[in-house]
């Protein structure tokens, strides 16, 4: 495990382990400046990957060297980005630094894109930061869109028709389109068939944009075109809020699967040939594990998602590669959420620490909580606890656990924002 | 339910002269699942937001409160649903773990 390759030597001489640990006086990591027992490379520093990196360092007390590779310079949170669209939150509050992962945890954070992985030699190649060898690879790459699922959603169309389903420049661009929309204009949101990232996310977005319209553009409409048979998360709660607060603003059409769009006339067409025209089109194509996962060879379910061993989250296709977050072929009733990706990150970290400690990893419990704001103050939630089932070899929701809110409340609105603040720190601090 | 046959590489790892102790790796598995609580209550239960912190609270109190949530006798927005996912033994482990966090 302790092959001392040139890359590792270079690393140790650079921001090397001892130097990094010494920068954390008094912490558990400070005393451990010995040669690392191995190196884990983590690809993707979102809710899953950054959590895995931090907890690998925490639980190994610095014994495992961690290299975290991320193409973005900063963390941009998808949860809370719908609040930015509604004008309830400043975009800057969703952007966070990776500095604490370096300073507090001695993680080597590398800003680069992964170009390829040699899973035989166990080397990750990047575009501008060189190569990194690993003993274990953790892959938390998120998703990519399948633009082919909608005819006409080409590069030109994408200049004006946005998804804003990965927080960042698109969040700000969609906010601008909503601000520019004249009162009386129609905003069209289309939802792909599940599974996709953040099941309640589109319904939260519809609610929050309706809330913005209600206050600032009362003649405007939100038209939701859902490829699913019904609202797939917190259905009764969303419907109750929409009926009470947004009756004349939100129109919801289930089983409306967008198969084509024309950006010039801002028209979308359904599977059945029905057409809808809007002023702002917010179209979400189908999703699949990010392209890098495909390249590495871990995508083995329906050519879309990665299957894993649910104790270690190790790929069933490629040895020593652990996959987590949205890229996974999810367990039953396990959502593709930031909260869940954080839990995956901890499960992976625990398994790898156990492996490096010479023990057989044991299954761990996972839990999910998804809050959704429904206006500027109130929120609702859905939650669940998932326990590994040894016969089915997959985590299942513990019978009787979990549930949803009784009704939208200001108290849960406060918790929603506290949740964001806290999980950002758990992931990045 | 420990699996007896440890793969060769693991056996080699384990035999490398008290590796866990020397390196800082844990000698016995810590209660990893306690980190489930961190998403809302902060890493090691230390919260800086509206959701209450649970680090350093009295062990018996934590256990009682979690069991009351589980039984539905203590009102909550969400904890009565989450607590039902844990066994009483796990609740005792969580209470012990968070009571020891400073």
Share of chain A above pLDDT 90, in %: 92
Q: Which residues of A touch B19 (CB under 8 A)?
A: 37, 357-358
Full domain range(s) for residue B77: 28-99
Residue A258 lies in a domain: yes
Min Cα–Cα distance to chain B from A27, Å:
13
Q: Is residue B70 part of a domain?
A: yes
Please check whether residue A409 lies inside any domain of the structure: no
Distance CA A328, CA A288 (A): 9
State how far the alpha carbon of B21 is from the alpha carbons of A4, A100, A419, B10, B80, in Å: 21, 27, 36, 16, 39
| pLDDT value at residue B21 | 57
Q: Which of A241, A266, A286 is the last residue of a domain?
A: A286
How far apart CA A338 and CA A254 sit, in angstroms, is: 26
Same domain, A42 and A111: yes
Q: B37 lies in a domain? A: yes
Look at residue B9 and tell me if it is in a domain: no
Q: Is residue A112 part of a domain?
A: yes
User: What span, in angstroms and rounded, lies between the C-alpha atoms of A37 and B25?
Assistant: 9
Chain segment A200-238, per-residue pLDDT in tens: 999 999 999 999 999 999 999 999 999 999 999 999 999
CB of B76 less than 8 A from some CB of A? no
| A189 and A205 Cβ atoms separated by less than 8 Å | yes
Q: Which residue has the tokens 């490379």?
A: A41
Contact A282, A188 (CB under 8 A): yes
**Facing B14 at nearest CB: one of A339, A358, A423:** A358
A104 in contact with B, Cβ within 8 Å: no
**pLDDT tens sequence across B3-22:** 444 444 444 444 443 455 56
* Residue whose tokens read 């890229």: A327
Residue A138 sits in the same domain as residue A173: no
- Stretch A53-72: mean pLDDT, rounded? 98
**Confidence (pLDDT) at A21:** 36
Q: Let me know if residue A67 belongs to a domain.
A: yes
**Higher pLDDT among residues A256 and A17, named by residue:** A256
Same domain, A58 and A128: yes
Answer yes or no: do A126 and A14 share one domain: yes
**Do A10 and A82 fall into the same domain?**
yes
> Does residue A391 sit within a domain?
no
* Span A63-88, average pLDDT: 98
With respect to residue B52, please indicate whether it lies within any of the assigned structural domains: yes
Query: For A100-120, what is the mean pLDDT?
Result: 98
| A251 within some domain | yes
Question: Chain B, 26-45: which have a CB under 8 Å from a chain A CB?
Answer: 26-27, 29-30, 32-33, 35-36, 38-43
Q: Give the model's confidence band at B23: pLDDT under 50 very low, under 70 low, under 90 confident, else very high.
A: confident
Answer left, alpha or beta for residue A302, where phi above 0 means left and psi between -120 and 50 means alpha: left
Q: What is the pLDDT of residue A24?
A: 38
- Any long-range contacts for B9-16 (C-beta under 8 Å, 24+ apart)? B10/A355, B10/A358, B10/A359, B10/A360, B11/A358, B13/A1, B13/A355, B13/A356, B13/A357, B13/A358, B14/A357, B14/A358, B14/A359, B15/A358, B16/A358
CATH number of the domain where residue B91 is located: 1.10.760.10
pLDDT at position B24 = 87
Would you say residue B19 lies in a domain?
no
Strand partners for A190: A225, A283
| Interface probe, candidates A401, A424, A427, chain B, greatest B C-beta count within 10 A | A401
Claim to verify: residue A269 and residue A294 sit in the same structural domain? no
Residue A32 has pLDDT above 70, yes or no: no
Structure tokens at B14: 């384990």
CATH number at residue A191: 3.50.50.60
Strand A299-301, strand A305-306: pairing: antiparallel
* Structural domain for A98, as ranges: 6-142+290-360
Q: Which of A360, A395, A415 is the last residue in one of the domains?
A: A360
Into how many domains does chain A fold?
Answer: 2
Q: Are residues A98 and A125 in the same domain?
A: yes
Question: Does B72 fall in a domain?
Answer: yes
Span A306-317, mean pLDDT? 98
Residues A265 and A356 in one domain: no
Same domain, A27 and A137: yes
Q: Which of A286, A304, A326 is the C-terminal boundary of a domain?
A: A286
Verify whether the Cβ–Cβ distance B25 to A353 is below 8 Å.
yes
Q: Could you read off the pLDDT of A364-421 as tens digits, one per residue?
A: 999 999 999 999 999 999 999 999 999 999 999 999 999 999 999 999 999 999 999 9
Residue B72 has pLDDT above 70, yes or no: yes
* Count of structural domains, chain B: 1
Residue B19: predicted pLDDT: 53
| B5 lies in some domain | no
State in Å, rounded, how far the first CA of chain A is from the last one: 29
Position B41 in a domain: yes
Give the pLDDT confidence of A149-208 residue by residue, as tens digits.
Answer: 999 999 999 999 999 999 999 999 999 999 999 999 999 999 999 999 999 999 999 999
A259 and A231, same structural domain?
A: yes
């Amino acid at each position: 495990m302790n092959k001392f390759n040139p890359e590792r030597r270079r690393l140790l001489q650079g921001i090397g382990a001892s130097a990094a640990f010494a920068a954390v006086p008094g912490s558990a990591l400070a005393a451990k400046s010995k040669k690392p027992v191995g190196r884990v490379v983590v690809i993707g520093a979102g809710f899953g990957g950054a959590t895995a990196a931090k907890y690998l360092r925490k639980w190994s007390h610095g014994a495992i060297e961690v290299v975290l590779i991320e193409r973005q310079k900063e963390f941009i949170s998808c949860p809370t980005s719908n609040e930015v669209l509604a004008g309830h939150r400043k975009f800057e509050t969703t952007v966070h630094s990776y500095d604490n992962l370096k300073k507090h945890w001695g993680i080597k954070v590398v800003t680069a894109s992964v170009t390829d992985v040699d899973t035989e030699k166990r080397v990750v190649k990047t575009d501008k930061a060189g190569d990194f060898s690993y003993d274990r690879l953790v892959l938390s790459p998120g998703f990519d869109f399948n633009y082919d699922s909608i005819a006409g959603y080409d590069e030109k169309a994408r200049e004006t028709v946005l998804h804003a389903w990965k927080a960042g420049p698109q969040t700000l661009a969609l906010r601008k389109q909503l601000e520019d929309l004249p009162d009386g204009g129609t905003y069209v949101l289309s939802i792909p068939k599940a599974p996709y990232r953040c099941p309640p996310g589109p319904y939260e977005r519809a609610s929050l944009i309706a809330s913005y319209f209600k206050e600032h553009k009362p003649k405007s409409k939100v038209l939701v075109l859902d490829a699913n048979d019904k609202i797939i998360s917190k259905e009764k709660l969303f419907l109750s809020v929409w009926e009470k607060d947004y009756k004349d603003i939100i129109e919801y059409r289930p089983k409306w699967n967008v198969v084509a769009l024309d950006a010039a006339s801002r028209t979308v067409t359904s599977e059945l040939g029905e057409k809808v025209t809007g002023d702002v089109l917010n179209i979400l194509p189908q999703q699949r594990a990010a392209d890098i996962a495909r390249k590495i060879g871990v995508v083995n379910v329906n050519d879309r998602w990665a299957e894993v061993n649910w104790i270690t989250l190790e790929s069933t296709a490629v040895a020593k590669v652990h996959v987590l977050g949205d890229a996974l072929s999810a367990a039953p009733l396990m959502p593709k959420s930031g909260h869940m990706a954080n839990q995956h990150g901890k499960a992976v970290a625990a398994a790898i620490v156990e492996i490096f400690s010479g023990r057989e990893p044991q299954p761990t419990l996972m839990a999910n909580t998804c809050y959704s704001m429904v206006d500027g103050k109130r929120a609702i939630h859905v939650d669940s606890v998932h326990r590994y089932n040894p016969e089915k070899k997959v985590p299942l929701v513990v019978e009787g656990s979990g549930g949803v809110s009784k009704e939208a409340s200001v108290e849960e609105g406060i918790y929603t924002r506290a949740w964001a603040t806290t999980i950002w720190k758990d992931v990045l601090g | 339910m420990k699996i007896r046959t440890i793969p060769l590489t693991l056996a080699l790892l384990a035999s490398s002269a008290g590796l866990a102790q020397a390196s800082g790796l844990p000698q016995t598995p810590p209660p990893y699942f306690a980190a489930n609580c961190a998403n809302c209550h902060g890493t090691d239960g230390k919260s800086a937001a509206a959701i209450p912190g649970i680090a350093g609270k009295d062990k018996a109190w934590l256990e009682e409160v979690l069991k009351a949530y589980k039984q539905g006798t203590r009102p909550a927005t969400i904890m009565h649903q989450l607590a039902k996912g844990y066994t009483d033994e796990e609740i005792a482990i969580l209470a012990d773990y968070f009571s020891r966090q400073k």
